[in-house]
Homo-oligomer: A and B are copies of this chain.
């Protein structure tokens, strides 16, 4: 067979031992807090029936779903006309009935409906699994990446929002990442659209408003006019440009604008409730920020909207979420409200790397390498290695009695902390030589003292 130059598909990644350990540290930290907050883990298959996913992510999303080719003679039932006109889109449903998970939310909705009789509601679940998207790969955007989601379904209590903000705070405190949790409410945005009569321009409006700090009030208004937002609407909403102070005074200004919109006032009430609770409860390290320009997933969320940004780093959002009504309706279970948050693993990784926040304990590399000087020496080394492992020390015996230099190079390259030397002399005396590879210090240690000599 011809020899192939190995490579991997674009948009995918190999992870080295160091990278896996660092990613595992983030997963473990998030998982630990998910569990403390009472979220329980589920896992769903990597591929779902294509029909489960199709139509849930819009037309663009449908295109980006990876479809799996049916096994066997998949063309047998294909329509001749479709084949002849090479109609790729029409052929799909004939030759593919499965597709890779595109996100964790739709499979979760499917899970809830399918297992509704085994589930106790409110159902709090977390899920940390990869998803796949046939997006054009670019810096920081991959075709395979992990999502880490916590959602609760079957409760419309705003205490869930309070809990999820506390959860974000707890995780990023554990990770030592200073963050702002941006918070908004879809109902407020609906209210603004209502009073200003710009329901069709709301996104243009919020996108422009979002630039206020950068380009100033006049330029923001200019952009709004360019986008076709009438001056009368801008005038109605202009108090938004000068909202200042704590959440109470900001919400007071907002209330003045929205006083004729029932849904808008409901949104303010919800924001007030959550802010007041968080104020009383306190956050460990995060800042909770009212951000009226936050409109992610506008067509999806119906209440709270969250987004997390790391402070002091240029790095988009590292988490997000919100409340949605009727997630499970598409699968036949109506009236189940839900709210959830997501952690952006890849970006959190980049933030920790950039801020040098990965703790030393992440390193799971070898602690002790026993140099191999021959059969009898290696036998003793294996005995001691077994004892060390029983004491939780990561260690190994070099597999061959290669030249000392080669074995020490191996220790160097693997950044081993200690090298244990048992030669002929050491075998006789019952003392080994332990070299600290960081300081270069060497000391002689009795065999049965070794397990106490490794910190």
Contact = CB atoms under 8 A, between A and B. Distances in A.
Interface of A: 1, 3-9, 12-17, 20-21, 24, 33, 35-38, 40-49, 51-52, 55, 63-64, 66-69, 71-76, 78, 83-84, 86-88, 91-92, 95-98, 100, 110-111, 113-115, 118, 120, 122, 124-125, 130, 132, 134, 144, 152, 155, 157, 159-160, 162-163, 166, 170, 277, 280-281, 330-332, 364-366, 372, 378-379, 382-383, 386, 389, 392-397, 399-400, 410, 413-414
Contact of A88 (B63, B76, B400): B76
Contact of A44 (B8, B76, B124, B281): B8
A400 B378 CA distance: 65
Contacts of A68: 66-69, 100
A385 B70 CA distance: 50
A379 B280 contact: yes
A36 B392 contact: yes
Contact of A160 (B12, B37, B98, B399): B399
A78 to B, nearest CB: 6
Contacts of A45: 8-9, 12-14, 144
Give this chain's copy count.
2
A32 B154 CA distance: 38
A16 B5 CA distance: 42
B281 A382 contact: yes
Contacts of A414: 120
B14 A115 contact: yes
A38 B55 CA distance: 47
Contacts of A95: 69
A95 to B, nearest CB: 7
Contacts of A36: 389, 392-395
24 contacts: A3-B331, A3-B332, A6-B331, A7-B114, A8-B44, A8-B48, A8-B114, A9-B45, A9-B98, A14-B43, A17-B40, A20-B41, A24-B41, A37-B389, A46-B130, A46-B144, A47-B132, A68-B69, A69-B92, A69-B96, A75-B88, A83-B83, A84-B84, A277-B382
Closest 6 CB pairs of A and B: A12-B45, A17-B40, A157-B399, A38-B396, A20-B41, A120-B413
Contacts of A396: 37-38, 124, 163
B86 A75 contact: yes
Contacts of A372: 159
A14 B111 contact: yes
A382 B158 CA distance: 13
